């Protein structure tokens, strides 16, 4: 048994609860004790001065695309259904080598930004990504991009059984190992046959894991399902028995009252991606939260502005206040503790780890981050909960620990070769820094 004692630190024990001068004792992979400074007298293997830090639960990205890390800066202001126009052609030409680099860059960005847990929403060559994530020490759920539309590019064109077999193989290799899970996926309902929907839903039940899907992200996608079967997306899935408390619906922007009721009734988990979603529509988050729906926040991948959840929380607050708060004359329609709870509690639920993640409390997993609060842009503050939301950015994260293991200390990444990854990126894309508009198309 190994132990770490963090002494005399400002501590967020739960969303909205921040206490000064706390000691945190970690044994193996769990929080063992949290109490006032000086009251923990055990001799730990490692003792850390936390007096210039705020330690808090690590943030959880409920929706990202590992395979789009190299698309940074290439989708902003693009019209139409972006994933069909930009993401899908890029992913169709990926190799295992490209995915390895994508995953290395994604893992580095998460570790150095704020994120200790993530839900991958589906791509290709996912075994390569899983190998990187296992090395990184991050906690996460992997998924294979599952579609059987015969009009897809030849490199990713497959029938329903073949598509499911890819996730089966990923599950057998990674599920339950190295803090990783594997979810079954429906990448886009308009590109999935009834057969594939049924197979994926049943396999998720058989293997006691989640089924996830991009849901109601664009009006055109909703219209496509209506035209195909005469029903809206969540109604269609409910009638096929695919909805449950192990279903994660990403985006879920354009919902009617029947779909909201189905989400509530089946205890479906949701994830919003504020920066990505802001160009498409605004979710009915206040209403859904009031109904008890579990909602997390995700970045939607680096193609949509990077992997910083600090940025996503700021954008989400602004969108919610502008759309709902100003109309209702309620500036606190989405207060800071509520947004933090979405990231932590909604994220834990998306990882099927409610009650195990999102708190610095005895028995919880030791997935924590340490913020350097000795910075001019963070002081003075009259309310730390508000300041975290308003002013903290990715560069303030100095330390990251997952399951009791340090992934980063004092901004030094310990589990991945930062310079080696940077050099590999430079070799692979020697003109990447020259803003070429076409070089990634054939990568």
pLDDT tops 50 at residue 437: no
Going by pLDDT thresholds of 50, 70 and 90, the confidence category of residue 81 is low
Number of Cβ within 10 Å of residue 185's Cβ equals 33
Going by pLDDT thresholds of 50, 70 and 90, the confidence category of residue 74 is low
Cβ(278)–Cβ(77) below 8 Å: no
Question: Rounded mean pLDDT of the chain?
Answer: 93
CA distance 100 to 133: 10
Distances in Å between the alpha carbon of 207 and those of 168, 175, 203, 246, 335? 10, 10, 6, 11, 38
Q: Which of 199, 260, 244, 263 is nearest to 352 (CA)?
A: 244
Distances in Å between the alpha carbon of 412 and those of 108, 371, 400, 408, 426? 11, 14, 10, 5, 21
Q: What is the pTM of this model?
A: 0.94
Check residue 436 and give its pLDDT. 41
Q: Strand, coil or helix: what is 47?
A: strand
Which phi and psi angles does 182 have, rounded to 5°?
-130, 130
CATH 2.30.40.10 matches 1-55+364-411: yes
pLDDT tops 60 at residue 149: yes
Provide the token pair at 244.
């449950």
DSSP 179: T
Residues carrying CATH 3.20.20.140, the chain: 58-349
Check residue 142 and give its pLDDT. 98
Please provide the size of the chain in residues. Answer: 443
Residues carrying CATH 2.30.40.10, the chain: 1-55+364-411
Going by pLDDT thresholds of 50, 70 and 90, the confidence category of residue 432 is low
Q: Which residue has the higher pLDDT, 317 or 94?
A: 317
Give the pLDDT mean for 142-152: 94
Architecture of the domain spanning 58-349: Alpha-Beta Barrel (3.20)
pLDDT tops 60 at residue 439: no
Distances in Å between the alpha carbon of 10 and those of 37, 166, 365, 368? 10, 45, 19, 13
Check residue 216 and give its pLDDT. 97
Check residue 440 and give its pLDDT. 44
For tokens 């076409």, the residue is 438
**Tens-digit pLDDT profile for residues 331-345:** 889 999 999 999 999
Give strand pairing partners of 401.
Answer: 368, 406
Check residue 228 and give its pLDDT. 94
Q: Which of 327, 84, 38 is nearest to 187 (CA)?
A: 84
Query: How many CA atoms, within 13 angstroms, populate the side-chain half-sphere of residue 109?
Result: 25
Provide the token pair at 358.
């999102």
**Tens-digit pLDDT profile for residues 212-250:** 999 999 999 999 999 999 999 999 999 999 999 999 999
Give the pLDDT mean for 119-131: 95
**Three-class HEC string of 323-381:** HHHHHHCCCCCCCHHHHHHHHHHHHHHHCCCCCCCCCCCCCCECCEEEEECCCHHHCCC
pLDDT tops 70 at residue 442: no
Cβ(19)–Cβ(10) below 8 Å: yes
**Tens-digit pLDDT profile for residues 367-412:** 999 999 999 999 999 999 999 999 999 999 999 999 999 999 999 9
Give every CB contact of residue 404 below 8 A, 6+ residues apart in sequence.
2, 4, 26, 27, 28, 29, 30, 366
Going by pLDDT thresholds of 50, 70 and 90, the confidence category of residue 266 is very high
CA distance 251 to 414: 33
Check residue 82 and give its pLDDT. 64
Give every CB contact of residue 325 below 8 A, 6+ residues apart in sequence.
331, 332, 333, 334
pLDDT tops 70 at residue 360: yes
Q: Which of 248, 225, 330, 348 is nearest to 286 (CA)?
A: 330
Give every CB contact of residue 385 below 8 A, 6+ residues apart in sequence.
16, 18, 336, 337, 340
Alpha helices in 175-212 (DSSP H): 194-206
């Amino acid at each position: 048994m190994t132990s770490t004692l963090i002494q005399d630190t400002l501590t967020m024990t739960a969303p909205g609860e921040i206490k000064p001068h706390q000691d945190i004792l970690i044994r193996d992979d769990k929080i063992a004790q949290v109490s006032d400074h000086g009251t923990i007298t055990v001799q730990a293997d490692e003792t850390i001065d936390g007096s210039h830090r705020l330690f808090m639960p690590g943030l959880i990205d409920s929706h990202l695309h590992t395979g789009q890390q190299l698309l940074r800066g290439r989708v902003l202001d693009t019209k139409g259904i972006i994933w069909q126009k930009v993401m899908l052609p890029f992913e169709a030409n990926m190799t295992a080598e490209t995915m390895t680099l994508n995953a290395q860059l994604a893992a580095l960005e998460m570790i150095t930004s704020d994120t200790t847990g993530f839900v991958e929403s589906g791509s290709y060559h996912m075994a390569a990504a899983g190998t990187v994530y296992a090395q990184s020490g991050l906690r996460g759920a992997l998924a294979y991009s599952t579609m059987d539309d015969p009009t897809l590019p030849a490199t990713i064109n497959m029938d329903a059984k073949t598509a499911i077999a890819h996730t089966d193989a990923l599950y057998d290799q990674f599920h339950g190992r190295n803090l990783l899970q594997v979810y079954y996926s429906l990448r886009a309902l308009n590109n999935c046959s009834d057969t594939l929907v049924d197979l994926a839903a049943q396999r998720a039940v058989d293997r006691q894991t989640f089924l996830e899907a991009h849901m109601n992200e664009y009006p055109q996608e909703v219209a496509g399902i209506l035209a195909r079967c005469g029903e809206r997306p969540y109604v269609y899935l409910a009638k096929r028995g695919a909805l449950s408390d192990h279903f994660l619906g990403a985006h879920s922007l354009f919902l009617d009252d029947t779909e909201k009721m189905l989400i509530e009734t089946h205890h479906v988990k949701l994830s919003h991606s504020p920066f990505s979603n802001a160009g498409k529509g605004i979710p009915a988050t206040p209403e859904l939260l009031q109904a008890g729906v579990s909602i997390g926040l995700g970045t939607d991948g680096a193609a949509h502005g990077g992997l910083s959840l600090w940025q996503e929380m700021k954008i989400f607050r602004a969108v919610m206040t502008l759309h709902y708060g100003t109309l209702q004359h309620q500036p606190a329609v989405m207060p800071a503790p509520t947004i933090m709870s979405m990231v932590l509690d909604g994220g834990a639920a998306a990882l099927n780890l409610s009650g195990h993640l999102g708190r610095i409390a005895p028995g919880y997993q030791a997935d924590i981050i340490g913020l350097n609060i000795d910075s001019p842009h963070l002081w003075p503050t009259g309310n730390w909960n508000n300041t975290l939301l308003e002013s903290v950015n990715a560069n303030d994260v100095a330390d990251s620990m997952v399951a009791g293991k340090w992934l980063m200390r004092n901004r030094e990444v310990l589990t991945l070769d930062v310079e080696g990854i940077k050099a590999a990126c430079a070799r692979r894309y020697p003109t990447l820094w020259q803003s070429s508009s076409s070089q990634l198309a054939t990568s």
